[in-house]
Structure 1
Amino acid sequence: MSADSSLLFEDQFLCSICLDVFTDPVSTPCGHNFCKNCITHHWDFNVPCECPNCKKRFKIRPELQVNTFITEMVSCFKESAQQRASSSSAQQAAKPGEVPCDVCTGTKLKALKSCQVCLVSYCETHLQPHLTVSVLKEHQLKHPVENQQGRMCMKHNKLLELFCKTDQTCVCMRCTISDHKQHEVVPLKEEYEDRKAELGKTETELQQMIQQRQLKIEEFKHSVKVSRENAGREIAEGVQVLTRLRHAIDRKQAEAIKVIQSKHKLIEKQAKGFIRELEQEISELERKGAELEQLSHSEDHLLLLQNLQALNAAPPTKNWTEVRVRSPSHEGIFRAVSAPLVDKLITDLKKLLPKTELRTAQQSAVDVTLDPDTAHPQLILSADGKQVHHADVRKNLPDNRKRFSTGLCVVGKQVISAGRFYFEVQVKGKTQWCIGVARESINRKGPLNIDPQNGYWTLGLRKENEYWAATCRLYSKSDPEKVGVFVDYEEGLVLFYDVDAAKLLYAFTGCCFTERLLPFFCPCFNQGARNSTPLIICPVNFTT
């Protein structure tokens, strides 16, 4: 049997009063069938009696006849429906998280639809009346949902199908003519669409916030990685310097000890020679003294007189009065051998410390670009905002309040208002230039007095090997090709480095920054092409 014929067959066994399969079906004189209890109760409350289907009136309450044919067919239909339900249950039992059918007994099948009129969710089998019975077809079906009773107004027992924007709550139709009469009320679906759009926007914003924080995490991880690499490099270089120094100290110590010991051995050898001579003389004098003593006890007159002259003669001895063993002075030996080491250590530290400072400054590198709205009309900027040089032709540009009108200057787009800030500029090939940072509020329309009192912290080249930092003239034996500019806003520092030599060129200290700063650039006049090389903002390559 086809699905359509099955639905038609099922529709024929539904009581039009209770809208369920017949129970004890009976027939009226007009030929319509009803459940016995349904038609009996209907006539109990409706006088005169009439057929609910065709509206035929009966003067006398008719006697109802049991329809045996319908009774047998209903029995067969119920048995078939139970078999279909049993088969469906095995295949479509509701899983956790799915809405179960409210009509099923025993195993709950998965609900396909929820009726907003009946407030019941139906599986495929129990949904059939809503698909076939004309009265039930008018009911509004929707995607299955749980807790249908929770969708009813507690006060009026009506479906919550509207939304009060004034009180921000769901209401029923009757609420709009009582508690929410003067309020702005819209259909629930309309508010749902608006809120869903807001949720989408909020979700997008949340995703952006998540991505920003993930990028920040990666930035922190990169900072830790760079710091770890720098720390390892600093330790390696420091250990190398101190190891060389320790080895040098050990060598110089051995040399000093050897010199001192050599001097001591020489004195010791000289003293031993003198002692040996003195011991020999003592031995000779003791021998002669013994002979004299022996002779002095002799009774032999002749023997005494014969030997006395020989014994009285002085033995051959040395005059030791002026003989000295002078201890040599060891003072200054260690000082003499250690002085070169101290000089070498200082030299190594001078080489090592600037590199360390520069590497630390480079950790605060910022991608600086030039602001074309601030450039003097005779300056030429590259398309990427990284280069600037002077041209003899004055461009016709709008004279906005940010543009320099007299000084051949331009500032960067990036703002310095807190923390640390670092960028590098290539000045190779230029005969004049000036770079640094300046207050955002500097005067851009008249003559420029470039010094800290007027809001400029800069370093510049005026002529060969003559550099100026504010009003301080500096002299350099070599010209830097790339200059690094470092700002510590809170500490009040502006430092300038020769990047290639890792050398500090000049430091502004004790500055008091009270407003935002901007990177500052002045390529100066091209001097008939002698100074046409541009200032170039370079990517930072960390010093090794």
Structure 2
Amino acid sequence: MASGGSLLTEEHLLCPICLDVFKKPVSTPCGHNFCLPCISSYWDTTFVSQCPVCKEDFPNRPNLKVNIFIADLLSQFKSLQGLNVHSQRSAGQQPVSCGIEVQCDFCSSQAVKSCLDCVWSYCDGHLQPHDSVSELKRHTLVGPVESLGEKVCRKHRRLMMLFCRNDNTVLCDLCIGSGHANHDVVSVQSGYDDMTLQVLRNEVKVQRMIQERTQKIQNTKESLMQGKTETNKLIENGSWDLTQLVTEIKRTQEELVKVFEEKQKEAENQATDLITDMEKEISCLKVTAKNLEELKELKDPVCFLKRYPNQSLLPHTMDLSTLNFIRHLEVKYMHKSVRNSVCHMQDLLGKLNEELNRFSNSTDTSNKATLRYMQQYGEDIVLDFDTAHPMLTLSADGKQVWYNMGTGLWGNQIPKPNMFTQHLAVVGQRGFSSRRFYFEVHVGQKTEWCLGVATASLQKNGAIVRSPNSGLWAIWFLVDKFETFSSPGEAVHAGKVEHVGVFVDYNGGQVSFFDVVRAVHIYSFTECLFTEELYPYFNPCDNEYGSNLDPMIIVPVSSAE
């Protein structure tokens, strides 16, 4: 065990958080030691259980117990320290803080006293003038103080042992009367403990912000790379499709020319044959006409009858009534058919150009695309009657919920095990985990409502603490602005919405809210750590901000145009 010449000092038994001797020492799984109250308070302010020294994260908050070995060592050390102090006082020496050596300001020896008037620390040799010079005898000597110049009040020449929380400044006992009489003044140690805890909290926040931004940068880079890959793929596929379309159009054009030329040649051949046949018939008919003319000139009956042919006087000819050569009408019909097809294709190309222009010039295209992406994960949500607060009314199909003023007090109702008893809330029947899901809610002209998702273990009996660790990720609408349930009073969006979309990416740690009508992003919780099933959460609220009796309605998922 430690002795007067032992290497063990008080520094080995100081808590890294409060920098004081251990109180109920405990050891974390990573091997570092802390006061049980200090590490418990520290973890109460963080999202994850992390060692303040090595920053190792623990998946579950460790159940720490007092380290008996360190506690016993501390007890024996304090006993030994008491013996050393007693021996020092018996020898007429000023006890020196264990483990802290203050060097003389004039040599390398250890200081035995510090002067508040001179603001110097002295060894035995350099302290002699204060024992012999009358002027120096009136100075105030104290035990050696490290960094004395920073700890002495320049105005009153006294040690600054107090801290003013109002002005965030260090004071001596005489400073209180000059401007700090009604202020919150505590000991320096208390102020140090408070500010150290604040530093630790800020450190946790800064580290979390660094992690969030680092992750956001990584996500942005990944999204950019994915977008670039998709863009290149779209360019390649789109160009190939359009090239194929152009090739097909050219092939169709060539086929059209070929067919029309062949049909025209066929028509010309038919017309030539017809004309030739009819010209031959005309020649025959002319011969027949001449014979008939000669026969008509005979006036003698005997001669006429002897000359009259035994066969028909008319030659065999084509039936002109069966011939209807209207080739131009066929061409006109085909021209109209081709023109209609071309116009239809031009309309399709026009719509494609409109989409491209809208994508190029519109500022909300990204939001619409994001909303369309989320809507593909739409789920049918039905409310759980057993969880509804007694002052809420639900529709028979479990799709609507509203505040019922006429319900009044609970009366003789017996609270159900999973019922909300203070918050005017209800959750969905089904929970979701390890997947994406989306649902939409119509809130109309309501003046107040709260909507989001909650864990199965969310506090239902009594008030829900509005903190990031409550197990509720929700937005709260108040008259004309939005705030998150976990950060009251901090506006995250302004304006009024009638139709809200809620998207959850469980594995991605994200909960997003959209104004479906205008395709406007309202707010997103990111970098969330989900460890249990999530249930849709609805709170129609009361009439505190005006008429608010309209229901919250779960509606079928629409499609962003």
TM-score range, shorter chain: 0.3 to 0.5
TM-score by length of 1: 0.36
TM-score by length of 2: 0.35
> Whose Rg is larger?
1
